[in-house]
Structure 1
Amino acid sequence: MAIFVRSASLIKYSDIARAVGIDPICKVREAGLDPVCLSAPDLRIPEAGLASVFQESVRSTELRSLGVRIGEAWRLSDFGAVSLYLQHQPTLRHVLAEVERYRHMLSDSVSIRVADFGEVSLVHVVLVTGRPDPGRDIVELTVGAVFNLIRGILGAQWKARGVYFAHAAPESMRFHRPFLGPNVEFDSEFDAIALTREELDRPNPLGDAALARYAKELLDLRLPSRPASITDEVRRAIHILLPQGQGAIERVGQRLGFAPRTLQRQLEQAGQSFSALVNEVRGELAMRYLGNRHHTVSDIANLVGFSEVSAFSRWFSGEFGKPPTRWRSDYFADVARDDVNEAH
């Protein structure tokens, strides 16, 4: 599936790159993108192209932690046409729900899910990229942008209960802790931001129902909804629900507002099947988790919907031609080899 994102992050990337002597125009062209995206924030560009720009740029040691640095520079206004509408929502919970509702204007790649656990809530940030590894910088940029969105609503004094990343910790926390606070954890099971439930439901002092309605009217007039295909919506829902043990068609249908038979029929009309989509997403997630040393193969089997490791190993071998343990060892050998080549 084609996944597109707004070009706004490349404008901030451009400022950081130039500050360390990197030509952003050159990097953008190398990724097959039009340099105009360095000055126009609302262009839709391929997510893979953005990832390529970041990947090639961070080969320079001066641009380590590029993603979190862009996230730190993100402001509420950087959400573009939806910014005014978000600013006047009654609570942060409403803000996050509207980000999800209008994600077709922001990013095909990002989904936000809020989960309450007593007095604490987790804002999960889920990336659907079509690549086994979204990349550290893409993840940290997205989490950082959501973090600053929360701060924009709750105020500059707000501090997160915790910020969690599924990838491994960087060599230096020089940019992470001053921005995200002291409670940053890596090798987590998810990418998320923790805050109190009271903060999530606290009345927004900037909220104005009349202005929100006005902003929505302008928003819908200027940028009419471009609904995603049923295939893309189901694929996104599976990405979110499968690691929670809720990847059955009944739960996916419930999330999307369809009865299971109706959902299956719509997929068939689109030339797809639910089982094929589950298998596709399962493969993407399995490779993503295997690239994280924190997860055991047993953990991964459970996260992608297998109750037995042996069943997971048979399925993985059939899909990728080697058992998961072999795939993991080959993957980290390739990573080590790339690191040696970069060092020279």
Structure 2
Amino acid sequence: MDTRPLARYAALHGYIELGESLGIDSVGLLRAAGLDPAGMDVQDRWVPAAAISRVLESSAEAAGREDFALLLAQHRRFSNLGPLSVSVREAPDARSAFETLIRYQHMYNEALRTRLSERRDLTTLIVDYDTKADVGTRQALELATAVGYQLLRTILGDAWRPVAVCFQHGPPSDTGTHRKVFDADVRFNQHFTGMVITTSDLRKPNRMSDPMLRAYTRTLLESVETAGPPTVLTRVRELIELLLPTGRCSLDQVSRSLGVDRKTVHRHLAQYGETFTSVLNSTRVGLAERLVADNRYSLTEIAEMLAFSTPNSFSRWFRQNFGVSPRAWRASAQAGVDASRLRSTPSDRARTRPETTGKTN
């Protein structure tokens, strides 16, 4: 299915903190883009890449900072790459590290397309960002370029510098942050976005690498490669998790986020023996099981997070699916009892029974 690309929440790591420091309404801007602020804690959750671009652009405008993405890049950590960070860290040299990152870039951002182009003594790292939506990408491109620059500095040492950093778009009114962050020749209105690097630099050893760990990282890479890109079922499930707390979780909204019509979603879910209703209910079951066992949220708050119209409708649904009331389930979890043993066989069979009193239709 040709859907709009997704990206992980890790792309916005540090966003709320940065927004607060600049005096903008970070939470409001996230919601305006269709993102759930509470989901920021789940860095591996997939969300529409267009929504991330929209947040970056609107935040730059709200803060009056054309350098917003560069400021955000300062909050990024090597660990934000998830499992890939281990493999990249143990690559023998800079080129191998970047080739690994490029090969598996779909594991963290499907809109990002980077490639290396070598010509004699110079190698160009080209960065493209395509959300397949009508949304600006200036900030997303600058963020990706800055993160790539930081990665090379981590691999090669703080003394490393690129030959040039290039952007297709025009310069900001003040280029001070760009020149400070990159500490190199920064050029605008170029025919590509990315960096020009001395080829010999890419052959230099990765200073983070430990040869004793390379066999382990090869095994990890094989498991990552086996996992492959997310399936349509995974995409729908994660979008449901994202949209439920907003009260706007519907087949139409999920279809729009994927960039296809509802019939296409139905058709592809059917290949997995699922319907939108069955995925919605199973996703709710998984969320409810975790949330009710956690004492941080009241049952009324959980009912709202799972898009039920009233706490009573949530309680009825919970009993149908778990065989006990949410209060009993929580009490067992708090007492250290395996609450799943409270389920009865009929309730287990009811896990896929649709609830008609929620706010998702």
- Whether TM exceeds 0.5 here: the answer is yes
* Range that drifts further, 6-15 or 163-172: 6-15
Alpha carbons 2:163, 2:198 under 8 Å: kept: yes
Alpha carbons 2:116, 2:126 under 8 Å: kept: yes
Provide the C-alpha distance between the structure 2 equivalents of 1:45 and 1:70, rounded to a whole number of angstroms.
18
Question: Residue 61 of structure 2 aligns to a residue in which SS?
Answer: coil
Alignment partner, residue 41 of structure 1: 43
Q: Deviations over 1:34-77 (max 9, x none)?
A: 21232222111101111121222222244331112222333322
Alignment partner, residue 104 of structure 2: 102
Alignment partner, residue 203 of structure 1: 205
The structural deviation recorded for 1:222 is 7.1
The structural deviation recorded for 1:199 is 0.5
The structural deviation recorded for 1:30 is 1.3
Alpha carbons 2:69, 2:143 under 8 Å: kept: yes
Alignment gaps of 5+ in structure 2: 232-267, 269-361
* Range that drifts further, 27-36 or 165-174: 27-36
| C-alpha RMSD over aligned residues | 2.2
Alpha carbons 2:8, 2:43 under 8 Å: kept: yes
1:25 aligns with 2:5: no
- Counterpart of 2:141 (choices 139, 142, 162) is 139
Identity %: 26
Alpha carbons 2:156, 2:205 under 8 Å: kept: no
Query: Following TM superposition, where does structure 1 have runs of at least 4 consecutive aligned residues deviating by more than 6 angstroms?
Result: none
Q: Deviations over 1:208-236 (max 9, x none)?
A: 3441331342455478422489xxxxxxx
The structural deviation recorded for 1:20 is 1.6
Provide the C-alpha distance between the structure 2 equivalents of 1:89 and 1:74, rounded to a whole number of angstroms.
20
Question: Residue 82 of structure 2 aligns to a residue in which SS?
Answer: helix
1:117 aligns with 2:106: no
Question: Residue 205 of structure 1 aligns to a residue in which SS?
Answer: coil
Question: Residue 113 of structure 1 aligns to a residue in which SS?
Answer: strand
Q: How many residues align?
A: 230
Q: Which one-letter code corresponds to 1:149 in the other structure?
A: L
Q: Which one-letter code corresponds to 1:123 in the other structure?
A: L
Provide the C-alpha distance between the structure 1 equivalents of 2:212 and 2:54, rounded to a whole number of angstroms.
42
Alignment partner, residue 58 of structure 1: 60
The structural deviation recorded for 1:22 is 1.8
Q: Deviations over 1:126-147 (max 9, x none)?
A: 2222136642111100111111
Question: Residue 73 of structure 1 aligns to a residue in which SS?
Answer: coil
Alpha carbons 1:104, 1:227 under 8 Å: kept: yes
Alignment of 1:208-247 (within 5 A): 208-218=210-220, 220-221=222-223, 224-227=226-229
The structural deviation recorded for 1:119 is 1.2
Provide the C-alpha distance between the structure 2 equivalents of 1:150 and 1:192, rounded to a whole number of angstroms.
13
Q: Which one-letter code corresponds to 2:46 in the other structure?
A: R
* Range that drifts further, 211-220 or 132-141: 211-220
Larger Rg: 2
Question: Residue 83 of structure 2 aligns to a residue in which SS?
Answer: helix
* Range that drifts further, 64-73 or 111-120: 64-73
Question: Residue 149 of structure 2 aligns to a residue in which SS?
Answer: helix
Q: Which one-letter code corresponds to 2:10 in the other structure?
A: A
Provide the C-alpha distance between the structure 2 equivalents of 1:3 and 1:213, rounded to a whole number of angstroms.
32
Closer, same or farther in 2 for the Cα pair 1:125/1:43, shift >3 Å? same
Closer, same or farther in 2 for the Cα pair 1:56/1:134, shift >3 Å? closer
Alpha carbons 1:162, 1:193 under 8 Å: kept: yes
Question: Residue 74 of structure 2 aligns to a residue in which SS?
Answer: helix
Normalising by structure 1, what TM-score?
A: 0.62
Question: Residue 204 of structure 1 aligns to a residue in which SS?
Answer: coil
Alignment partner, residue 192 of structure 1: 194
Provide the C-alpha distance between the structure 2 equivalents of 1:86 and 1:195, rounded to a whole number of angstroms.
18
Q: Which one-letter code corresponds to 2:200 in the other structure?
A: E
Normalising by structure 2, what TM-score?
A: 0.59
Question: Residue 117 of structure 2 aligns to a residue in which SS?
Answer: strand
Closer, same or farther in 2 for the Cα pair 1:57/1:227, shift >3 Å? closer
Alpha carbons 1:10, 1:37 under 8 Å: kept: no
Alignment partner, residue 181 of structure 1: 183
Alpha carbons 1:161, 1:194 under 8 Å: kept: yes
